[in-house]
Amino acid sequence: MSKSSENLSGWKKFMKSMTKAHELGTEEDILLDHDYDGIRELDNVLPPWWLYGFYITIAISVFYIFQVFYNSEEYSQEKEYKAEVAQGKAEVDAYKAANPQLFDDSNIVVLTDAESIAKGKELFTSKTCFACHLADLGGSIGPNLTDNKWILGGDVKSIFNTLTNGGRPGKGMIAWESTITREERIQLASYIISMQGSTPANPKAPEGDITWPEE
């Protein structure tokens, strides 16, 4: 052992043992004979820390394979997935049972009182529905909401469902279920229905194959 090695601290000795790095100035001792256009390669060994990590990975892999093939009855990703799905379904069913009013569409009816219509109009403005449908509902990026042609249906339940779940994929109509309450969605749908048959300034051409009210 050289005098310089004897003077190394414990941490440096540990790092040296884990890397097996050669000291600067000793490259000539580990040069290989190969010569590539004047470039010669050093015969460095793989660092022990890398080798230990590699061996640990192999050990974990062997353990995992053993678990999969020999203990499949005790542990199975498929069984774990099915158990998680069953648990999730049970929780959803329990929530629906505890809150039936949120999932019963029998009370989704058009509201005609002035307060509800005013609230629906406020929601139409505050939730920026006008950005796609214009303030008079005549349609811009989104369809005209005042004619009798609809893409997803123009009755109160269909409009409520569109507000809840969003429009067609890729068309920009987002789902409002997590943003506005169920009652507010009914008020907003009622306001839209109250504007059917009105005369916007620049009405967009009718879109959709569903006619409402039915002719």
pLDDT for position 184 = 94
- Between CA 159 and CA 186 the distance in angstroms is 9
- Between CA 43 and CA 31 the distance in angstroms is 6
Torsion angle in degrees (nearest 10) through CA of 112, 114, 118, 121: 30
DSSP state of 12: H
pTM: 0.55
pLDDT tens digits along 163-179: 998 888 888 888 998 89
Residues of the chain with CATH 1.10.760.10: 108-211
Mean pLDDT confidence for 49-78: 82
The residues, ordered by sequence, that sit 6+ positions from 184 with a Cβ below 8 Å of its Cβ are: 119, 123
- Residue 31, helix vs strand vs coil: strand
pLDDT for position 107 = 79
Domain 108-211, CATH number (from 1.10.760.10, 2.30.30.40, 3.40.228.10, 3.60.40.10): 1.10.760.10
